[in-house]
Amino acid sequence: MKRRSFLKGALAGAGVTALGPEAFAAGQPVDNRKISSIPFPQKRPMITYSDRPPLLESPRYVFAHPVTPNDMFFVRWHMPDIPTHIDLGTFRIKVNGLVERELSLSVDQLKHDFEPVEVYAVLQCGGNSRSAFKPTAGGIQWGSGAMGCARWKGVRLRDILERAGLKKEAEWVGFNGSETAAYYETPNFVRELHLEEIGDHVIVAYEMNGEDLPYLNGYPVRLVIPGTYSDSWVKMLSNLTVTSDYQHLFFMDKAYRVPDNDCECQKPGEHVPTKPITKMNVKSFIGYPTNGETLYHNSYATIRGVAFDYGAGIKAVMLSFDDGKTWQEATLGDDMGRYAFRAFTYDFKPKKYGKQTIMAKAINRAGEEQPFAKDIKWNHGGYKFNGIDVVTVEVV
Amino acid sequence: MKKTIFAALLSLGALNLHAVLNEDVEVPYVPFEIKMGKHFDLVQANCLTCHSFGYILNQGKQSRSFWKEKVEKMVDAFKAPITKEDQALITDYLAEQYGNGQP
C-alpha cells in the first residue's frame, strides 16, 4: 500500500470510530471574556453572566496567586430571591429532624461555643470551563474562572451534629439555604449528605480569608465540603434536617450529574444512567501570562498558575512549550493543605519569535494526570472539564 | 495621637466588614443585550420573573430540542406557570434567536 492511500484509509477509519472529533470532544474553554463595567456588592468588576441570579466569573490573571481574593471570588446562585438583609441578631441555623435536641444557633454561638477550625479549600463549579465542550453543552458557558481557593474558618459539621445528638435511625442530613424561588412550588436548593460522607473536613464556615463571608458567597454561613464541586456547598445555610431516608431532590437527582460509566461521557442526544458529580478531578490553570500577552525574546518571564484535585494532593505540574511533545517540571509553591490551590512557577526564556503556546498539566499523588482537551469526551451538562490548559502569547 | 488614629481606622474597618448587616444589599441590574424577535413579549413576561436575560443568552447557541427541553424544565421542575401555548411560542423565539440550526 502506498503511504498516501494508507493515510487516507487511517483517517477515514478514525473518523468512523470517533464520530468526528468536533461531535464528541472538547476544545479550549472560551477565554478573555469581557469584564463587566458594573461591580456587584463587595466585588470588583468581574465577568458577568447574569445579575439575577448573580453569576460572576474571575478573569484568568486572578489565578497567578494561590489564594483568591474575596472581592474577585466567583459567584453562582440558583434562585432569584436572595435575602438582601441579614440581621445577625435574629439569624439562626436550625438543626432538626432525627436529633435528641433541636438546635437554633446564632452565628455568635457558632463562633464561641464550638472549636474553630480553618482549611484552605478550592471551591469550583461543576460546570467550570463548560464552554470547552463541542457541541455546546447545556448550561452557562463558563470560561475557567468559576473557581477559587480561600481560607475557610468555621465549625466542624460533626461537632454541630454531636451537640444535637443523632438518633440511631439517622442516616442523611439535608442542607437548606436562605435563597428562595419566585414560586412557592419550586423545589428549594437543598443538598443532602450521607453521614458517612461527613468527615472532620466538612465545616460550616463563617469566615473567608479572615473576613466575614461576602454577601454573594453565602453570608453569614455556608457549607464547605473540601474536595467536592461547589453545588453541594450550600450558601446562607439556615437549616439542617436529619433523616433516616434519602429525600428526593431536584438538584441532586436531575441536575449536576454525569454519565455513570468509565469515561463519564455520552454521545449528544444519547440518554444514559447518571451519577452525581462529587469529587473534583485533577486540574491546573495558568494565571500569568494570559492569552495574547507579549513576552520578550531571550528574557525571563515567570509563568504562574495553580493546580488542585479532590484531596490526593498535587505531585507535579509540567509545562510544555512545544504543544505537548516535551514537558518541563515547574516549581511548586507552599503546600497549604491537600484541598488548596498549589501554586506553581517556571522561569521561561522564549527562544523564538512569534506565537508561543504554553501548556500546563497537573499530576496528583494518586498518579492521575490531566488529559489533552481534545481527549475529553462530551457529557450533556458540560461537567468536570479538566483538559490541559493552553495559553498563547506573542514573543517579540 | 497616632495611636488614636490607628484605633479609629481599625474600628472603621470593622464597620465596613459588617456593612451587610446594617443595611439592605443592592444587587445591580445589568442590561443584557437580548435579541428582539417574534414572541419576545412572551419571553419578557414569562422568563424574567425568575432570571435575567443573561441566563438565556449565556447558554450559547442551541438546538430547537434543547430550548424546548429548557422551557419544559422551567415548567416541570421549577413550576413556572407558563401555558402550553406560550411554551411553544417561547421555544420558537429561542430557536429562532439563539438556535444553532439543529432541530
| pLDDT recorded at residue B19 | 42
Closest CA to A338 of A208, A223, A205, A226: A226
Chain position carrying cell 507535579? A316
Q: Helix or strand or coil: residue A51?
A: strand
Cα distance between residue A382 and residue A330, in whole Å = 29
Which alpha helices (H) appear in A249-334, and where do they start and end?
A: 250-253
Q: A271-294 as b/e, with b when 16 or more CB fall inside 10 Å?
A: eeebebbbebbbbbbbbbbbeeee
State how far the alpha carbon of A377 is from the alpha carbons of A155, A279, B72, in Å: 39, 18, 27
Contact list in A for residue B70 (CB cut-off 8 A) is 138
Q: Does pLDDT of B10 surpass 60?
A: no
Strands A75-76 and A54-57: antiparallel
Contact A50 B55 (CB under 8 A): yes
Q: Does A187 touch chain B (CB under 8 A)?
A: yes
DSSP string, A242-292: EESSPPP-HHHHTSSEEESSTT----TT----EEE--BPPPEEEEEESPTT
Best CA proximity match to A155, nearest among A86, A193, A206 = A206
C-alpha cell at A56: 460572576
Contact A53, B51 (CB under 8 A): yes
**DSSP at A248:** P
Q: How far is B2 from chain A (nearest CA, A)?
A: 25
Please give the residue that has the higher pLDDT: either B7 or A221. A221
Spell out, as residue ranges, where chain A has pLDDT lower than 70. 1-23
Model's pTM, two decimal places? 0.90
- pLDDT score at A6: 36
Minimal CA separation from A316 to chain B, in Å: 35
Asked if the model's pLDDT at residue B5 lies above 60, the reply is no
* Residue range B26-80, pLDDT digits in tens: 899 999 999 999 999 999 999 999 999 999 999 999 999 999 999 999 999 889 9
What gap in Å lies between CA B86 and CA B1, rounded to an integer? 69
β-bridge partners, B50: none
* Cα–Cα distance, A48 to B30 (Å, whole number): 9
Q: What's the confidence (pLDDT) of residue A182? A: 78
- The sign one gets for the Cα dihedral A247, A249, A255, A259 is positive
B60 in contact with A, Cβ within 8 Å = yes
Q: Which pLDDT belongs to residue B22? A: 59
Q: What ipTM goes with this model?
A: 0.86
What residues of A are in contact with residue B77 (Cβ under 8 Å)?
187, 250, 254
